[in-house]
Amino acid sequence: MKQASIYAARVRKLKERLEEEGLRGVVIVPGPNMGYLTGANSLLLERPFMLLIPVEGEPNLVAPALEAGPYIEGQLAMKVHPWTDSEGSAGAIAKAVKGVSLKGKWGVEGKVPFLFLDRLTKRASPKLRNAEPVLQGLRETKDEDEVRLLKKAATILSRSFDEFPGIIKEGATEMDVARAATDIIYAKGGTKVDDMLVQSGPRAADPHGLPTRRKLGRGDGVIIDVGSTFEGYYADITRTFCLGPSAELEKVYDRVLEAETSGIEKAMEGVRVGAVDAAAREVLSKAGMGKNFIHRTGHGLGLEVHEAPYIVEGGKERLGQNMCFTVEPGAYFRGKLGVRIEDDVLIEGRKGVEISDTPKEFGWWK
């Protein structure tokens, strides 16, 4: 399928889903959804920049003139209404509103700034609704090209993790480790590294703590959690390392690894996401660590590092072919330590297949 056909097909599918939800169209801004539907990528800044896709008719884009080029020359047919800083966005917005007949119920992407909507609703009075379920649902089943990019991203990040033991040294700071790890990922072919978490010792009890100047010490556990991309698609892997012996950390590590294995084994086509979470959570609960597992078991991967499907406790959504997500149980003990192990899983051939493959048995880093 030619690239232009891919984006036209995605927009057709989006229109079908909007109509099923009783929506007359959707408002989208620069970011993963616009890139997915148009093949062009832009930054979401302060200038009004909106793609209006009606169920009937062609999309209309309001874009700052300095950013309109990739859409005017792009692979998705649309009417582009550029505007300059001198003239302001009001005229372009008015033309787009007229072009799509902005009436009735319209969906809105969750990332749309209030400023943009305020400008839009000065020209029309649609009934605005949350479009995130439609947009997330559209993107969570990957096509063949997306699967290829996800696997490549996971391979690059896996091969990078293979080299991380060499940068985890006593006396190095968390920031030192983060910088060195980032350099390794780029050297291996990563396109972007924008989620680099390094937590050591008692700081590892805070799952989303950013790297600090804390120095790594003997006996410390060290969590490295990285999200990186290849051509826009994310891999997300976490490993917990240990500097020297720690019987306490090893005991927790073994149970977390068992929980991760149980969750991955449960992940199959047709299985509810809540059942995958339960499979991992039950292992830690039986080990007396249930209260120490303080987050969901995983999240989807694609153009965003967190997207549908969400592997959450009690979740009713069923996994389907070509859905990609993480399985990442953890156990956290305030003031002491934390352990998390995360891999990327693709539903392929009706079962969950790990597409990340760096070692994970305790002590592999020695």
pLDDT at 3: 66
12, 55 in Cβ contact below 8 A? no
Tokens found for residue 126: 């649609």
- State the first-to-last Cα distance of the chain, in angstroms, to the nearest integer: 47
Domain ranges of the chain: 3-139, 144-354
The CATH number given to 3-139 is 3.40.350.10
Distances (CA, A) of 209 to 19, 203, 260, 301: 42, 7, 21, 21
**CATH architecture of the domain covering 144-354:** Alpha-Beta Complex (3.90)
pLDDT at 116: 97
CA nearest neighbour of 211 among 324, 294, 222, 221: 222
pLDDT at 195: 86
pLDDT at 240: 98
pLDDT at 4: 65
Q: Which residue positions in the chain have pLDDT lower than 70?
A: 1-4
Query: 3-139 and 144-354: same fold?
Result: no
What predicted TM-score, i.e. pTM, was given to this entire model?
A: 0.94
Long-range contacts of 307-311 (CB under 8 A, 24+ apart): 307/32, 307/136, 307/139, 307/140, 308/136, 308/137, 308/139, 308/140, 309/140, 309/273, 310/273, 311/263, 311/273, 311/276, 311/277
